[in-house]
Amino acid sequence: MNISDRNARFREIRDKVESGTRLTLDDGIFLYDPQVPLQEVGELANYVREQKNGNVGYFNINTHLNPTNVCVYRCRFCAFRSDLRDPKGYAMSDEQILDRGREATENGCTEMHIVGGLHHQRPYEWYRHIIELLHDNYPQIHLKGWTAVEINWFEFQTKKSIQWVLEDLRDAGLGSMPGGGAEIFHPEVRDQLCEHKANTHAWLEIHKTAHEIGLRTNCTMLYGHVENAYHRIDHLLRLRELQDQTGGFQVFIPLAFHPENTKLSNLKKPSALMDLRTMAVSRLMLDNVQHIKAYWIMLGIETAQTALAYGADDIDGTVRHELIYHDAGATTPEFLSVDKIKDLISETGREPVERDTVYRRVHRDPNDFTKWRSGEPVETALVS
């Protein structure tokens, strides 16, 4: 395509975005063409981002819990998993799990993000017990736990339906679900990465069922490995289609692949330019998802900050005990202080706003930081 055709094609897409017309598969693939200046794609995504989320940069105060790394699967991109007898393998005790809840409370965390391996010697009841134990002892902390891959494993273990499993976990104290395990939906890629675990149909059905019973969920895409632009846009369109039906996704998180210690360690990790383009294209394609997150742990702090001008409106949280991406070579700090994360957002010209897991403003006691309450949904309090 020559420059004038390319410019005309970009103008056509800009007109669509400005008039609220949905972008197509071909539009998305075109926006991934390196010949289309990243700056222009970013500006368009920033327009949408500011229409939807004003000048705010959201963050939360959170911690991670990975109860076990022992896993029956062997996803090729995973550096976290372990075999049962490997010295690296672990499964946390109740005391260790309760310690994590205590530490979270003392640090004012509003959320615990809980995911891990599929341990073949631990029954479903152990996974349920973790939720119940934390919820009973630390009821104020929102438990965002178990990806669709884990829910699919629990279905297999219990021989019960998705709905039964999700309702049972919700009764135990589960507040919402993270978006992991989506990877890339297209079978040309998924079959190369993780052919045994929950397939695309299962992942989407589980999120659909969660939405139908009132659980909000997140959604993700792991990019920068063996996929191409077509696979990425196909993935985004499958998410957009489900969101049209249920409206239950609250945030989309593009996850940059980290190759170290994985079976794909021959690959390079995606460049910052690819990270920013993916952020921007995601913002433009997912017109029905309110928030786009720049997960600083994976992107690196500077790229995550820059992403706040390329479509993202959220930078994730302070985070503690992140293992999964640090095992795969992430060189970011293990956590950020509250002041630091606010400064990082302010430096970009955005207004830092603390949100809870389901995007309500968090109000803290000015005399005791660890005391907090959730307030109004953030959308009702946007700065115009």
In the complex, the residues that contact ligand SF4 under the rule CB under 6 A are: 71, 73-75, 78, 80-81, 117-118, 149, 194, 197
Instruction: Say whether 183 counts as a known binding-site residue.
Output: yes
In the bound state with ligand SF4, the residue whose beta carbon lies nearer, of 75 and 378, is: 75
**How would you list the strands of the sheet with 249-256, edge to edge?**
217-223, 249-256, 291-292
Cβ closest to ligand SF4, residue 73 vs residue 230: 73
3-class DSSP state for residue 292?
A: strand
Whose Cβ is closer to ligand SF4: residue 76's or residue 160's? Answer: 76
Q: How far is the CB of 119 from ligand SF4 (least distance, A)?
A: 10
Task: Pick between residue 153 and residue 249 the one whose CB is nearest to ligand SF4.
Answer: 153
Residue whose CB is less far from ligand SF4, 118 or 172: 118
54: left (phi over 0), alpha (psi -120 to 50) or beta: left
Strands (E), 85-139: 111-114
The answer to whether 219 is annotated as binding is no
Residue 77 counted as an annotated binding residue? yes
CB of 198 to ligand SF4, least distance (A): 9
Q: Is 109 part of any known ligand binding site? A: no
Q: Are 346 and 352 in contact (CB under 8 A)?
A: yes
Q: How far is the CB of 233 from ligand SF4 (least distance, A)?
A: 23
Least separation in angstroms between residue 179's CB and ligand SF4 is 13
Least CB distance to ligand SF4 at residue 183 (A): 8
Strands 142-145 and 111-114: parallel
Sequence-ordered strand ranges (E) for 125-242? 142-145, 217-223
Residues 6+ positions from 69 with CB-CB distance below 8 Å: 80, 81, 82, 88, 89, 90, 116, 117, 323
Check whether 103 is labelled as a binding-site residue: no
- Across the strands, what pairs with 251? 218, 291
Q: Give binding residues for S-adenosyl-L-methionine as ranges.
A: 77, 183
Q: Give binding residues for [4Fe-4S] cluster as ranges.
A: 71, 75, 78
